[in-house]
Structure 1
Amino acid sequence: MNKRLTVDLGMLISFLVLLDYRLVRNFGHETLALVFFLLFLLHTWFNRQWYASLTRGRWNTDRKLTFLADLLLLGSFAAVMASGFMISHTLPTGMQKAPLLAHQIHHVAGYVMVIALGFHLGLHWSAILPRLEKGMGFSKIPHRAILYKVLVILLTAGGIYFSFYYSLGSRLLLLRIPNARSIPVTLWTFTFGHLLIMSLYATGAYYVQKFFRQRKRRPART
């Protein structure tokens, strides 16, 4: 497994686990946030050519979609980090009585990141999959195409289910969730459930991108 893939998987796992504040508690949440931030810096360094390429080339639909998804991800991440510094119980930047707005921004931006990470993964999936197949040995699996299609269906169904199970829409809109504390949850189910939610948006982004790419390849009608 190469360094980039290791960093990307580390970011994904640390982010999904730190989301579960009830189980990892404050220390685990802030520690994993620091790990995620350090991995993000490595990820940015490995992909630094993306920033340099922004002023070059044509901005077709595919590129615009990718840029908007990445911008949403960077914006939500910046909001999470800025508000996190304000409400931290560990860092000296934390305020004793942080405004409610800071907590709300941290909460909403965190769940926006779930969606944005899904978009990011989906729009970059055509580049990620070959590395994943090579690094994990998936290229040796027979009938991969059929297996991938079945997996997409399962991921989509699971993502829809857990979106309702964890009331994702209500969390994004800061609405009250009846009996939220009574929802049975373990670290495993929470992490897996939010991975499926992320996969739902990744699948959507991937197929939207695929649609525009196929549309571009079609010959113009005369």
Structure 2
Amino acid sequence: MSSIFLMRLVFDLTAAGLLLFGFSYWWLGNVAHEVAGTALFLLVIIHNLFNRRWYRTPPKARRASRELFNTVVTFILMVVMLVLIVTSILISNALSSVMSAYGGFTVMQIHTMAAYWALVIVAIHLGLRWPLLMGLARNALGLQRDSRTRTVVLRLIVIMIAVHGVWSSFELGLGSKLSMQMTLDWWNFEESVAGFFIHCIAIAGLFMLLSYYASQGVAVAQTQGR
């Protein structure tokens, strides 16, 4: 593993961590939220600079179902992140003297909705790259041989994550947040901090699994159709 690739991986993992950290607004307050958000957007810019070759990929190379789906997911993620950036600027307390006329409750709702959509789309984005991530994990742990026991254990973990992710979606009211519905059902950080992040990670895990197995299903269907 090259040092540049390792650095990119660290940046991406840090960005994912900051995205989760950003959901803790009602726990750590506005200053920590805005600092984390600013750092996240800087890392997003760095991520795009590292992956600038993707933008040069000819459209013809993206016509296969899997590549097309990946392209659509990537563009949706770009739109969501742009919405997140714009709304964060409009409602920023640090910029309130300049942007106060453009902020408001509706913009805050859009910002929250975009944040939860970012969680879902980032998870799907990672799920499409799951084979690469698993390959890196195997190499890092020195797992060269297949193991039936390990496979069974991993599949059980996958089932547990999926079940937990479905439960977490209801616990956090994911549907209402993704559709920008009015709700007073906010997480009580005084009762549990770790529980909130576990729910967020479980939701991300659920969508990662769904996107991975969906892409695998498409690949199998394409192979059988030839």
TM-score (norm 2): 0.87
Query: In structure 2, how many angstroms separate the alpha carbons of the residues matched to 1:80 and 1:178?
Result: 22
Alignment equivalent of 1:208, drawn from 199, 208, 214: 214
SS state at 2:63 partner: coil
Query: In structure 2, how many angstroms separate the alpha carbons of the residues matched to 1:24 and 1:53?
Result: 41
Which shows bigger deviation, 141-150 or 63-72? 141-150
Query: In structure 1, how many angstroms separate the alpha carbons of the residues matched to 2:40 and 2:133?
Result: 19
Alignment equivalent of 1:55, drawn from 56, 59, 63: 59
Query: In structure 2, how many angstroms separate the alpha carbons of the residues matched to 1:115 and 1:144?
Result: 28
Query: In structure 2, how many angstroms separate the alpha carbons of the residues matched to 1:77 and 1:26?
Result: 19
Deviations 1:40-87 (A, max 9, x none): 122222222211114352511101111111111111110000010010
One-letter amino acid of the structure 1 residue matched with residue 174 of structure 2: L
15 and 50 in structure 1: CA distance in 2 versus 1, 3 angstrom threshold: same
Query: In structure 2, how many angstroms separate the alpha carbons of the residues matched to 1:219 and 1:87?
Result: 51
Aligned residue pair count: 219
Which shows bigger deviation, 120-129 or 202-211? 120-129
What corresponds to 1:133 in structure 2?
138
Tell me if structure 1 keeps the 8 A contact 2:27–2:189.
Answer: no
Query: In structure 2, how many angstroms separate the alpha carbons of the residues matched to 1:105 and 1:176?
Result: 11
Query: In structure 1, how many angstroms separate the alpha carbons of the residues matched to 2:138 and 2:46?
Result: 22
Alignment equivalent of 2:77, drawn from 67, 73, 76: 73
Which shows bigger deviation, 98-107 or 197-206? 98-107
91 and 179 in structure 1: CA distance in 2 versus 1, 3 angstrom threshold: closer
Alignment equivalent of 2:154, drawn from 148, 151, 164: 148
What corresponds to 1:106 in structure 2?
111
Tell me if structure 2 keeps the 8 A contact 1:125–1:206.
Answer: yes
One-letter amino acid of the structure 2 residue matched with residue 17 of structure 1: F
Tell me if structure 2 keeps the 8 A contact 1:16–1:194.
Answer: yes
Higher-RCO chain (CA-CA 8 Å, sequence separation at least 6):
1
What corresponds to 1:24 in structure 2?
28
Query: In structure 1, how many angstroms separate the alpha carbons of the residues matched to 2:16 and 2:219?
Result: 27
Tell me if structure 2 keeps the 8 A contact 1:14–1:36.
Answer: yes
What runs of 5+ residues in structure 1 fail to find an aligned partner? none
57 and 24 in structure 1: CA distance in 2 versus 1, 3 angstrom threshold: same
Deviations 1:5-40 (A, max 9, x none): 211211111110111211121111111111111221
Query: In structure 1, how many angstroms separate the alpha carbons of the residues matched to 2:97 and 2:51?
Result: 30
40 and 65 in structure 1: CA distance in 2 versus 1, 3 angstrom threshold: same
59 and 158 in structure 1: CA distance in 2 versus 1, 3 angstrom threshold: same
47 and 128 in structure 1: CA distance in 2 versus 1, 3 angstrom threshold: farther
Query: In structure 1, how many angstroms separate the alpha carbons of the residues matched to 2:189 and 2:124?
Result: 27
Query: In structure 2, how many angstroms separate the alpha carbons of the residues matched to 1:132 and 1:47?
Result: 21
Tell me if structure 2 keeps the 8 A contact 1:123–1:206.
Answer: yes
What corresponds to 2:94 in structure 1?
90
